[in-house]
Amino acid sequence: MKLRALSVAIMSVVAASAWTLGRAAEPIQPIKAIKPKNPAMVELGKKLYFDPRLSLSGFISCNSCHNLSMGGTDNLQTSIGHNWQQGPINAPTVLNSSMNLAQFWDGRAADLKAQAGGPIANPGEMAFTHELAVGVLNSIPAYKAEFKKVFGKDTANIDMVTDAIAAFEETLVTPDSRFDKWLKGDKKALTAQEKAGYELFKNSGCTACHYGPAVGGSSFQKMGLVKEYDTKSKMAGVAGLTGKDADRMKFKVPTLRNVEMTYPYFHDGGAWTLEEAVDIMGKLQLGRTYSKEEIAQIVAFLKTLTGKQPDFKLPILPPSTNDTPKPKPFG
């Protein structure tokens, strides 16, 4: 009797640890909901994110290219910048970008704060200068009061602007996807086809690069590991920074969270459909040609990664004053 109880106890310990081990061994972890540390800063950052007056034209905001109604992207092959300039590269999503090991396709910005100053002063994007952008904000008393409330200083500077935008971006996480529900134990959250897709994704090696809570964003890898990627784009990836030949075509592995919303795919926006992107990944990264059915399974799995989209009230921006420099949309 005693022995039997003991062996039952041991069995359940073994089963429980196998269960936790099994869970810990999943290469993908659920996204945690976020509770903002500084809600006032997040509110200010949200306004700045939506404010086109941070651009020379007075027309382009962060949301122009990272549209939060469309998965944090522009759904264009490459972005349109100041004066309708054709951008060189596809806009990655801002959703869950706080989980990236670094920002940009080549990782040239260490974090969201370092990134946020870039587009304002980039001649091909918002085409402004930090001084002029901050000048616009300081000409608007309602903004000045809000900066004072958040940072305790009478005049805004670019450091505060990038702090606030980064604080807002940190709230742009997408928990509660069906896949996360499944990971947390809701076995009914996925269909048989979606589960088969996940098994294939795992067993054929996609998770060597797409892993962690963001299903990517954790390493730089060569695009075209097994077979060269056929592209008209001139972007060289990390090699553009290091000048090293070994870094040619190395890009940050993109997150696959919300990937059904963030088309077109790859740094050049070269693939418009998930079917195409999965087929290319199989052939170029793993040397494997999937059948139509297998591709449909993986695509079905990828679509379960769509999470709860950020849900907030559209910010109402304080109006310009007589002293606010005028926008220059043309020329």
Applying CB under 6 A, the span of 1-9, 13-21, 102-110, 146-154 interacting with ligand HEC comes to 102-110
Task: Report CA-CA distances (Å) from 100 to 67, 208, 216, 273, 315.
Answer: 19, 16, 8, 24, 26
In angstroms, the first-to-last Cα distance of the chain is 89
Neighbours of 12 (CB within 10 A): 11
Which residue of 77, 174, 258, 262 would you call a contact of ligand HEC, by CB under 6 A?
A: 262
Please tell me which residue in 43, 125, 146, 170 is annotated as part of the active site.
125
Which residue of 46, 47, 53, 66 would you call a contact of ligand HEC, by CB under 6 A?
A: 66
Contact predicate 295/281, CB 8 Å: no
Residue 225 in contact with ligand HEC, rule: CB under 6 A? yes
Q: Which is nearer to ligand HEC, 13 or 244 (CB)?
A: 244
Contact predicate 70/261, CB 8 Å: yes
Residue 160 in contact with ligand HEC, rule: CB under 6 A? no
Residue 77 in contact with ligand HEC, rule: CB under 6 A? no
Residue 59 in contact with ligand HEC, rule: CB under 6 A? no
**In whole angstroms, what separates CA 173 from the centre of its chain?**
9
Q: Enter the tokens of residue 62.
A: 């962060």
Contacts of 303 (CB under 8 A, 6+ apart): 194, 259, 260, 274
E strand or H helix at 282: helix 274-286
Which residue of 128, 182, 211, 265 would you call a contact of ligand HEC, by CB under 6 A?
A: 265
Q: Enter the tokens of residue 87.
A: 């951008």
Q: How many residues bind ligand HEC (CB under 6 A)?
A: 51
Applying CB under 6 A, the span of 185-193, 199-207, 303-311, 313-321 interacting with ligand HEC comes to 199-207
> Is 146 a known active-site residue?
no
Which residue of 41, 68, 89, 261 would you call a contact of ligand HEC, by CB under 6 A?
A: 89
67-93: buried (b, 16+ CB within 10 Å) or exposed (e) per residue? Answer: bbeebbbbeebbbbbbeeeebebbbbb
Residue 277 in contact with ligand HEC, rule: CB under 6 A? yes
Q: Which is nearer to ligand HEC, 46 or 210 (CB)?
A: 210
Residues 280 to 299: which contact ligand HEC by CB under 6 A? 281-282, 285-286, 298
Phi-psi region of 173 (alpha: psi -120 to 50; beta: other; left: phi over 0): beta
Q: Which residues contact ligand HEC by CB under 6 A? A: 60, 62, 64-66, 79, 81, 87, 89, 91-92, 94, 97, 100, 103-105, 112, 115-116, 119-120, 125-126, 165, 201, 204-206, 208-210, 221, 223, 225, 251, 253-254, 256, 259, 262, 265-267, 277-278, 281-282, 285-286, 298
Q: Enumerate the active-site residues.
A: 125
